[in-house]
Amino acid sequence: MIEIGSTIVREEAEFIPAKMKKVQNIEHALECINCKGDASQKAQIKRGKAPQPPIQRSMANPSVLAAIFCQTW
């Protein structure tokens, strides 16, 4: 026998569990190279600010908290 056609009988939703990954927030420190060579000036060093976590000293970011809240209620 050979197949002469096909019909979609049913479509299903399949649950694939969420995945977690570690994201590193990096603060970069920058120094003015023009000021570095001049001994009369202090070194100009600037550091960017990393985003603050919603809960201090917690690894949970907003997406993790949103998933927990949605599953809870």
Please report, for the chain, the start and end positions of each structural domain, with discontinuous segments joined by +.
2-71
Torsions phi, psi of 8, nearest 5?
Answer: -75, 120
> 45 pairs with which residues across the strands?
31
Q: Among the residues of 9-61, which ranges form H helices?
A: 33-36
Query: What is the tens place of the pLDDT at every residue in 20-70?
Result: 888 888 888 888 877 766 667 777 888 888 788 888 888 888 888 888 888
AA identity, residue 11: E
Q: How confident is the model at residue 16 (pLDDT cuts 50, 70, 90)?
A: low
